[in-house]
Amino acid sequence: MTDKTRNRFDLKGKLAIVTGASRGLGRAMAVALAEHGADLVLVARSEKGLDQTADAVTELGREAVVCPFNLANAESVPDLMDAIEKEAGLPGILVNNAGTTRRAPATELELADWDAVMRVNVRGLFALSRELARRLMARERRGKIVNIASLMSRVARPGTTAYAASKGAVAMLTRSLAVEWAAHGINVNAIGPGYFKTELTRPVYEDEAFSRWVRQNTPMGRWGEPDDLAGAVVFLASPASDFVTGQILYVDGGWLSLV
């Protein structure tokens, strides 16, 4: 196959880590990568959920390695990477999807809750990205890192102070790492989902007044479904995005076009 006719979205021979892969957006993105040929390392706190995602990956004929791990324990990330390399090899793709939130008015938000959000959404993401980048650089290998930012990397609403701050940090961390690691052939980009139906958003999705507000303020008139991220993650993980770095691709049904 010539360079002009090859499939630039082909991920055959690639190994990808997806964090937060036990359900929702993480599961959908892991399956999308497998559909395009990648083998998967699935990371999350829940082994039960990871097994279900692994089944979906193996049904597509791809390999899946399950690694239960809590990214709040950032100091143990080197041990996680050692275990991954021993089991599956060195991944060339990392999708930093794991995240958490705590909802409260800023005046009532406990510092422990603030720390819990930052520990996973920012500190854990940085620790895993840094560890993979160190190993890729040591072997002079290229790589793709895809962070999951948020609509709230750009906008905010009451009661989401810690989450919005963490996702703003993810956006700037994406740009900073992209600049530092570009010379090493490591692309760092982010996806900014809008309002999606997930377990994390269930409390607000099931609030009919809020759900109606979301639909009314989204030009496409609906909440996002996990599968709506498939194209974005495959693009940013594949050779199709080789000259794209430091970018945040918002998948929001047109929300930000109205802001």
When the pLDDT of each residue in the chain is averaged and rounded to a whole number, the result is 95
Predicted pLDDT of residue 1: 46
Q: What is the pLDDT of residues 165-184, one digit of tens each?
A: 999 999 999 999 999 999 99
In order, the DSSP letters of 164-229 are HHHHHHHHHHHHHHHHHHGGGTEEEEEEEE-SB-STTTHHHHT-HHHHHHHHHHSTT-S-B-GGGG
* Closest to 154 in 3D by CA, of 175, 132, 170: 170
Predicted pLDDT of residue 68: 97
Q: List the domains of the chain with CATH numbers.
A: 15-252 (3.40.50.720)
Asked if pLDDT for residue 2 goes beyond 80, the answer is no
pTM of the predicted protein model: 0.95
Q: What is the 3-state secondary structure (H, E, C) of 190-201?
A: EEEECCECCCCC
Residues noted as catalytic: 163
Q: Over range 187-212, report the average pLDDT.
A: 91
